[in-house]
Amino acid sequence: MAIMARAATTSDVFNAIAEPQRREILALLRAGERPVTELARELGMTQPGASKHLRVLREVGLVRDRRAGKQRLYGLDARGLRPVHEWTGGFERFWNESFDRLDAYVQDLKQARREE
C-alpha cells in the first residue's frame, strides 16, 4: 500500500504540493536557486528530509537542479504548476462573483450613509 501512495505522490503535482513542507520549499525557491543545506536549515529539517522532498518535487516537474562546483542547486520550475493553475482557474468566476457582491454591499452602505 505504501508503494502505491509513493507512486501517486511522485506522479501527481496535486499530491506533491499537498504536503506543507513542499509548498514551503517552493515558496523559498521563488527567490532563486538554493542548495539543499540552506533549504533544510530554513525549514528546520534534516538534509536527508529536505532532499526527499526535493526529489518528489523534481519528479513531478516543479523543481530543477544543477551542479555548481561541489554542490547541487535547486530552482523552481513553475511551469509544472500549470495544471494547478488551470484547475483553480475554473473557480475564478466564483471568486469574482463574491467580490462583485462585496463591492455592491459596500456601495449600498456608502449610499445609506449619504442618505442619513
pLDDT digits (tens, 9 = 90+) for 72-87: 999 999 888 888 888 8
**Which of 3-12, 17-26, 95-104 has the largest mean confidence?**
17-26
In the predicted structure, residue 57 carries a pLDDT above the cut 70 = yes
Strand order in the sheet with 63-68: 34-35, 71-76, 63-68
In the predicted structure, residue 106 carries a pLDDT above the cut 60 = yes
Rounded Cα gap, residues 106 and 69, in angstroms: 58
Domain ranges of the chain: 2-115
The model carries a pTM of 0.71
Name the CATH code of domain 2-115 (choices 3.40.30.10, 3.30.450.20, 3.40.50.1820, 1.10.10.10). 1.10.10.10
Rounded Cα gap, residues 34 and 43, in angstroms: 13
C-alpha dist (Å) from residue 108 to 31, 45, 94, 96, 98: 42, 51, 21, 18, 15
Kindly state the cell numbers that stand for 2: 505504501
